[in-house]
Structure 1
Amino acid sequence: MSTPVFSPTNHTRLPVAIIGAGPVGLAAAAHLLERGIEPLVLEQGNEVGHSILKWGHVRLFSPWRYNIDQASRRLLAEREWQEPCPDEFPTGTQLVKQYLRPLAEHPDIASRLLLKNRAISITRKGFDLLSSAGRHGAPYVVRIERGGQEEEILAQAVIDASGTYLTPNVVGADGVAAIGEKSNAGSIFYGIPDILNKQREHYANRRVLVIGAGHSAFNVLQDLVKMAESEPQTEIHWAIRGASLDRIFGGGENDQLKERGKLGLVIKKLVAQGTIHLHLGVRVGRITRGDQGLVAHSDNVSLPAVDQIVAVTGFRPDLSLCDEIRLALDPATQSPVALAPLIDPNEHSCGTVRPHGADELKHPDENFYIVGMKSYGRAPTFLMLTGYEQVRSVVAAIAGDWQAAKQVELVLPETGVCHTQFSPRLLQKQPPINKLRDSGTSSCCAPECCA
């Protein structure tokens, strides 16, 4: 069998395939359009922001000023779009209705957006994972499924912005479902349920166990406490894996995202008051159902019986889409190797991430990038603004403008917490410091504050 021969330039007029029509995917399309490169956005849902609408009731702790991409803003300005007040905090639904839908309805985006098209595989034309000779010049093949039929799309590059919402982490502390987790799935919700409205009846006057230690858990706990004001028989339990609360509540008043800092302080107070029953050092290995209800077991300790469990244990990337793509992933975080030292929660706990772009996101297969929340692999604390700068840099790289790609310009709000460990992994793998626009200080956990 002869090896396919492709010229590196004979497919540059092909579109750049973007997987996912969320904020970061649509931002990638806007940046490509500004550079005269054809985008093609593939979204498996029936509308843009499909996954966001699943948590549409949740209010973001970042205001509008941090949630709008610059290229998208410029595109929307052509349509006399009414930009939301920069200091207001949108819900997920408002983010979709007031920003993503108008962006998707812009003629330049709408004509390049395919809804109800699910990407099921990505490969190089004529090359499986093992094949090398001639691979560099081959275009990408994105196989999609629509209406029960499979089709293929050729692309010069691929930007995977499909996110992680559909693949939440399990409750089991070993990384796999706890024994009994699957059989009791009907009483376990993964993510942030709409406790105060649509799903109120599942939690009102019930015993509820929340498992997880991030801001999503804080949101759930806050809603449960608010509901308990009118449903006094509601009993709230909170379990975290750690044995200490030092890092859990965040930077409080020192957090530059005030709503994020405030949320941690609220939960800290509720725990101190005994409104929330806290269980430390819980590593769930088994879930059983008895006469008293659901019981989560951790080593030799069993938690009180409850009626419902809410798992807010984070998300993980579904990498099956890329089985035939040559990836360079960190074995722990499942993020790109160069990005991992900046976000690994084992070594970088404050949640503030130094600016990064195409250099940190590239893989052995050229012009294939994973961006947005999925780029963080299993690491938490992703901000939308980070995704917007990622795609600006990535699109510049695809266009061959490596000067712009390397000039990563981003100022992220600090969390007010820094517990970086001085490990060889972090200190040896740090990429060069990126410029921070309009800032005279370095990002938290950059080498200067580790010195």
Structure 2
Amino acid sequence: MIVGAGPVGLAAAAHLLGRDLDPLVLEAGERAGAAVREWAHVRLFSTWSEITDPAAEKLLAPTGWVKPDLTTYPTGGEWAEHYLQPLADALGNRVRYGARVTGVSRTGRDRVVDAERAEQPLTVHVAYADGREERILARAVVDASGTWSTPSPAGADGLPALGERAAADRVSYRVPDLDDPATRARYAGRRTAVIGSGASAFTALAALASLAKADDGTGTRATWILRRGISGSTFGGGSADQLPARGALGLAAKAAVDEGHADAVTGFRTRAIEHADDGSGRLVLVSEDGRRLDPVDEIVVLTGLRPDLSFLGELRLGLDERLQAPAALAPLIDPNQHSCGTVYPHGANELAHPEPGIYLVGMKSYGRAPTFLALTGYEQVRSVAAALAGDHEAAARVELVLPETGVCGGAGLFDQPQADNTPADTGCCATPAAAEPSPVTPAPRLIQLGTTSPSASGCC
């Protein structure tokens, strides 16, 4: 049983078929890649050569499918239409749509019961869009449902900021599609706060800067909220990134600030979202230390995603207490330690849980850790399919080489602003020890980045 008809879930089905195992894919949406379609307007930073799976291509070949130009960068919508949906169609009735998994357990055993537990099949509870419910027995469950449905909130403590829910009509957790007329009208001529420091935040900042240029004089402007300070790694790998389009995202965000279309506020950890006192209906961000920013019209929160574990509550999962990733995988992807995008090869062994037959794969396997790539998920499910087929040698023979980000000093440093006197040459390529930031956290500050700014120096 596979949960989710996204890129990794469909690849898992293709690998299982290649092992003469019969998969069933349960997809809550009405089409393949339902989550991907929700960011259809966003262009991937990986080329077509890096986002298709070999087993899936083999399954597609008899259908007349032609692989797109390997050197081009598709949008999410193109990925869904030209690869994911054809792959789901090739799988035929092995994919069920409008099928939401509401629970997984052992037949007749809650998570407390030991007696004969291992001998019982897994039971998957499914709620269909037409109101029907069903329980399906399964030998194994591969959860590839991703993390898209559970974005992280604005609050720096991992909880919604005070007033965040009340301001829901002005708060978005997605990169805005400014080609959509209604969305464009929502942000044009207004000030928008963008909270986050990853690729999604870069994308949003670049899009808002483009809108500001197109609507020159109308007042379109962004305020970029960072919990850390500005350093050489703030804008990603830049030209050192082995995925050039990913590096370009960071450079575009830097240009948005350099050109005056966005202000960067550093060392700001959001505690509350309040309405302005002037009756305008605008919103004011308040930090943990009491600082209040100028009012904004809209807030875009891009602080990461987290796994929905609610329907797995009756299973015995072995999860890292911080990342909510499989315990054996967590040390390999921990952003508090890792640098340069390094991910050690991993597969079924690292993805296994105390509950036999359960595998979290794809984005969900990373829990709250960032920087997941499709290539990682494809290799995961190749290994898992081999393990389920009893080919343990192939399952253990995991090979994975990921492009480096060009940024040393792991994401664990993101919340610790770089001291103003940190030498510029401790940017992207210093050893972690040399790049260690000052333990002193400066007060939040509003900065403009220019070519002479020491904070913008370094490798990128």
- Report the TM-score, using the length of structure 1 for normalisation: 0.88
1:67 aligned to 36, 39, 51, which one?
51
Q: Which moved more, 1:339-348 or 1:164-173?
A: 339-348
2:207 matched to which residue of 1?
223
Q: Which moved more, 1:256-265 or 1:87-96?
A: 256-265
2:131 matched to which residue of 1?
148
1:241-266 C-alpha deviation (Å, 9 max, x unpaired): 11233322112111110111122122
Q: Which moved more, 1:271-280 or 1:155-164?
A: 271-280
Q: Distance in 1 between matches of 2:344 and 2:74?
A: 25
1:178 matched to which residue of 2?
161
1:413 matched to which residue of 2?
403
Q: Distance in 2 between matches of 1:83 and 1:269?
A: 34
1:191 matched to which residue of 2?
174
CA shift, 1:158, in A, is 0.2
1:317-376 C-alpha deviation (Å, 9 max, x unpaired): 010110011100000000011111121212224333222111111100111000010111
**In 2, are the aligned partners of 1:196 and 1:227 still within 8 Å (CA)?**
no
Map 1:342-381; keep pairs closer than 5 Å. Answer: 342-381=332-371
Q: Report how many residues are paired.
A: 408
- Point out where structure 2 has 5 or more consecutive residues left out of the alignment: 414-428, 431-460
2:421 matched to which residue of 1?
none
Q: Which moved more, 1:83-92 or 1:238-247?
A: 238-247
1:292-328 C-alpha deviation (Å, 9 max, x unpaired): 5100100221111100000111111010110011100
CA shift, 1:272, in A, is 2.8
- Point out where structure 1 has 5 or more consecutive residues left out of the alignment: 1-16, 424-443, 446-451
1:127 matched to which residue of 2?
109
2:147 aligned to 164, 167, 178, which one?
164
Q: Share of identical aligned residues, percent?
A: 51
1:296 matched to which residue of 2?
285
Is 1:49 paired with 2:33? Answer: yes
Change (3 A) 1:421 1:251: closer
1:189-238 C-alpha deviation (Å, 9 max, x unpaired): 00212023241111000111100000000000110011111223101110
Letter in 2 for 1:38: D
Q: Distance in 2 between matches of 1:195 and 1:313?
A: 20
Root mean square deviation of aligned Cα: 1.8
1:118 aligned to 89, 100, 105, which one?
100
Q: Distance in 2 between matches of 1:422 and 1:186?
A: 32
- Report the TM-score, using the length of structure 2 for normalisation: 0.86
Is 1:268 paired with 2:247? Answer: no
2:4 aligned to 20, 40, 57, which one?
20
Q: Distance in 1 between matches of 2:28 and 2:383?
A: 25
Is 1:250 paired with 2:236? Answer: yes
2:418 matched to which residue of 1?
none
CA shift, 1:276, in A, is 1.4
SS at match of 2:24: strand
**In 1, are the aligned partners of 2:335 and 2:410 still within 8 Å (CA)?**
no
CA shift, 1:420, in A, is 4.9
Q: Distance in 2 between matches of 1:130 and 1:294?
A: 47
SS at match of 2:250: helix
Letter in 2 for 1:47: R
**In 1, are the aligned partners of 2:172 and 2:301 still within 8 Å (CA)?**
yes
Q: Distance in 1 between matches of 2:213 and 2:255?
A: 16
